[in-house]
């Protein structure tokens, strides 16, 4: 399985990670680790936990951390919150958000049959890991059904604001 490499969506999210990351941070679907490494560089961040379903991404980021002698980031293989423990001040998620193409399976880009199913699973569980005053930084594409994402957020009693559109 390929590792999701940073693209314009990653760089847009990174801008807000620099602004909002604080305390204990969870980077779900870390991929290349761009958001985890960005969060780690914010002075008010105490710890970063980075998780990905892709074992190759986990191993690659762990190698990078070892090479750079970074100890403030813990990397785990996890399908969303499956192997995550504790609560976080900030949870970052740049989910796979494209609707699936028939016959092609790529967990790094496809968010389910309609594109929003992985995001739905994420929002069903996120409150169990977020401190009451915590923040979720979530990115999605215009190719994802925004009305459905809004519906999922409402269903899970989450308040939100759109920070930027690109």
The pLDDT tens digits of the residues spanning 66-88 come to: 999 998 899 999 999 999 999 99
pLDDT at 140: 78
pLDDT at 102: 62
Q: What is the DSSP string of 114-157?
A: SS-HHHHHHHHHGGGTEEEEEEEEE---TTS-HHHHHHHHHHTT
Higher pLDDT, 109 or 5: 5
- In the predicted model, what is the mean pLDDT of residues 48-68? 95
Neighbours of 87 (CB within 10 A): 15
Please choose, from the candidates 14, 84, 74, 11, the residue with its C-alpha nearest in 3D space to the C-alpha of residue 42: 14
Q: What are phi and psi of 83, to 5 degrees?
A: -115, 20
Does residue 14 have a pLDDT over 90?
yes
Cα 79 to Cα 157: distance, rounded to the nearest angstrom: 23
Q: Which helix (H) or strand (E) holds 110?
A: none
pLDDT at 108: 56
pLDDT single digits (tens) 85-144? 999 999 999 887 655 656 655 555 555 566 678 888 999 999 999 999 999 999 877 767
pLDDT at 136: 96
Q: Which CATH number, 3.30.43.10, 2.40.30.20, 3.40.50.10440, 3.40.50.150, labels domain 23-155?
A: 3.40.50.150
């Amino acid at each position: 399985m390929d590792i999701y490499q940073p693209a314009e969506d990653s760089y847009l999210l990174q801008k807000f990670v620099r602004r909002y990351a604080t305390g204990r941070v969870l980077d779900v679907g870390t991929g290349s680790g761009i958001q985890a490494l960005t969060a780690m560089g914010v002075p008010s961040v105490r710890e970063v936990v980075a998780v990905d379903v892709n074992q190759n991404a986990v191993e690659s980021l762990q190698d990078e951390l070892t090479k750079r002698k970074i100890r403030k980031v813990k990397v785990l293989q996890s399908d969303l919150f499956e192997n995550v423990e504790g609560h976080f001040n900030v949870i970052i998620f740049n989910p796979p958000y494209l609707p699936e193409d028939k016959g092609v399976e790529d967990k790094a880009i496809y968010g389910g049959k309609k594109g929003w199913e992985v995001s739905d699973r994420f929002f069903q569980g996120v409150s169990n890991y977020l401190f009451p005053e915590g923040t979720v930084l979530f990115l999605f594409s215009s190719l994802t059904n925004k009305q459905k994402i809004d519906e999922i957020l409402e269903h899970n009693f989450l308040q939100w604001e759109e920070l930027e559109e690109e």
